[in-house]
Structure 1
Amino acid sequence: MKKVFYIGDIVEMKKGHPCGSNNWEVIRLGADIKIKCLGCGRIVMLSRNKFEKSVKKVIKQNYQDES
């Protein structure tokens, strides 16, 4: 089953960022996913495949009703 992410989701990654935080905000979706570190503000772009493997859990889901 494919995981569903939304812009604005807060996710916890398996590996921590060098700044000490491992919480990230999703800021772009597509074939690549852009995430922003909530500790230092660094922006990183990952392929969707690598991102889905690296996510430990979704802390806050920013669900948007598309009706």
Structure 2
Amino acid sequence: MNWNVGPVIVYHAVKVRIYPTAAQAELLAKTLGCKRWIWKHWLEERETYFHEHGNTTGFKYTSAKILK
């Protein structure tokens, strides 16, 4: 029997509660709103590409479109 199965990966999570000031809360809302918009935009781009071409895009394709 082979007991050498390789390294075991263990994931940990830390849950933290924050209490931002009003200015910090506004900045967080703006930042997370922008992040959400960017994520949804590029997800839609990838889905559209998949439906048109039948395969997925890669990192190079997405990066090239972002840098235009």
Alignment TM class, shorter chain as reference: under 0.3
Higher relative contact order (CA 8 A, sep 6+): 1
Higher strand share: 1
**Structure with bigger gyration radius:** 2
| Higher helix content, 1 or 2 | 2
**TM-score (norm. length: structure 2):** 0.24
